[in-house]
Amino acid sequence: MAACIILAGGAGTRMPGDKAFMEVNGRRVIDVQLEALDGAFEEFLVIGNRERMDRLRVFERRGVRVLEETVRGSGPLGGIASGLELSGAAENFVLACDIPFVRRDAVLFVMEQLAGFQVAVPETPDGLEPLHAAYRSDCLDAAREGITAGNLKVTDFYAGLRVTRVPWEAMLEFDPAGRLMLNINRPDDIRAAAGSWSSPEERS
C-alpha cells in the first residue's frame, strides 16, 4: 500500500493569506495536485496544524483524509514525521502544498526508485528536494530523533538511512522546462506560474 501525504502546515510568512489555499489561475494548488495524482495512490492525506483544521476539511469531499499534525512546531520535518505516523502505509510520497506543476508520471518514477531504499529524493541544481520525495514508513524513528535533537533540517535526518538521489536529468525527462518541483513562495511566483500554467490533462 502506498499513500500520498500533502503537507499543508507551513506558516507561509512570505505569502499573504493561507498558503494551503493559494490559487494559480483561480484553482487551488492542492486541488490541482489531487487531480493530477488521482488513482496513483491508495490513500491521500492532507496534514495541517490545528489552526487550519476547520478550513482544510473542504478537501475531505475528494475522499482525502485531513489530519492534524502529531508533531507541532517542527516545520516540514514535523510534517513528514506526522504524515509517516498517520498514513499507515509502507511507502509514502511527501508533497508540499505549494508545488503546482506536479506530474503524475514524475511522482510515480520517484516512487519506483524507492525499491531497496528508505528515501528516494530528487536532486535539483539547487540541492535535494525533500518535499517531492518518497519515504518508507521505517524512516519515522530517524525523523523523530532529529526533532528530539532540535535538528529540523529535513535532509539532515537522512544520515544513517538508505537514500537514493534521483538525478535532475531523469526528472527533466518528464518536464524539460524544469517546473515540476517549482515552489510558490511569493506573490511573484504565483504570477510567474500563472503565465506558464497548463491543466493536468495538458501536462499528462
CATH number of the domain bearing residue 24 = 3.90.550.10
Please indicate, yes or no, if residue 46 is contained in any of the structural domains. yes
Please indicate, yes or no, if residue 203 is contained in any of the structural domains. no
pLDDT confidence of residue 197: 43
Q: Dihedrals φ, ψ of 91, to 5°?
A: -125, 140
Spatial contact of 2 and 93, defined as CB atoms under 8 Å apart? yes
pLDDT confidence of residue 184: 81
Domain that holds residue 173: 2-194
CA 147 – CA 141 distance, rounded (Å) = 10
Q: Classify residue 163 by its DSSP letter.
A: E
Please indicate, yes or no, if residue 33 is contained in any of the structural domains. yes
User: Which residues, in sequence order, are CB contacts of 32 under 8 Å at separation 6+?
Assistant: 24, 100, 102, 200
Please indicate, yes or no, if residue 199 is contained in any of the structural domains. no
Please indicate, yes or no, if residue 72 is contained in any of the structural domains. yes
Please indicate, yes or no, if residue 201 is contained in any of the structural domains. no
> Which pTM was predicted?
0.89
pLDDT confidence of residue 18: 73
What's the domain count of the chain? 1
Please indicate, yes or no, if residue 144 is contained in any of the structural domains. yes
Please indicate, yes or no, if residue 159 is contained in any of the structural domains. yes
- H-state helical runs in 13-167: 29-36, 53-56, 75-87, 104-112, 140-148
User: Which residues, in sequence order, are CB contacts of 56 under 8 Å at separation 6+?
Assistant: 8, 20, 46, 48, 66
Stretches in the chain below the pLDDT threshold 70: 10-17, 185-204
pLDDT confidence of residue 188: 56
Pairing outcome for strands 43-48 and 119-124: unpaired
Spatial contact of 81 and 70, defined as CB atoms under 8 Å apart? yes
